[in-house]
Amino acid sequence: MILREIVNSDGATITSLLNRISREKEIPLSTLKLNCRILKELGLIENAKFLPVSITNQGRVVVEVLGE
């Protein structure tokens, strides 16, 4: 779900994206942050402070395999 949201995020930072997902889907923010850290460690996303979160080529492959 997080990968799909990043693909459709239009340049949002990771903080704003996770806050929105947390509100809309009623998922604890701490859970989303943990999952994003795992996605980053796996090389599926890239993010830096104050910059938009982006999905890597490997992340795009995962999204395609899972189906959008």
Residue 38 belongs to domain spanning: 2-66
Burial class (CB in 10 A: 0-12, 13-18, 19+), 43: exposed
Contact in structure between 13 and 24 (CB atoms under 8 Å): no
Does the pTM of the predicted model rise above 0.85? yes
CATH of the domain at 38: 1.10.10.10
Q: What does pLDDT average to in each consecutive run of 10 residues of the chain (68 residues)?
A: 90 92 97 96 91 93 86
Domain count for the chain, please give it: 1
Q: Residue ranges of the alpha helices (H) in 1-68?
A: 2-7, 14-25, 29-41, 57-66
β-sheet bridge partners, residue 54: 46
pLDDT number for residue 33: 96
**What separation, in Å, do the N-terminal and C-terminal C-alpha atoms of the chain show?**
9
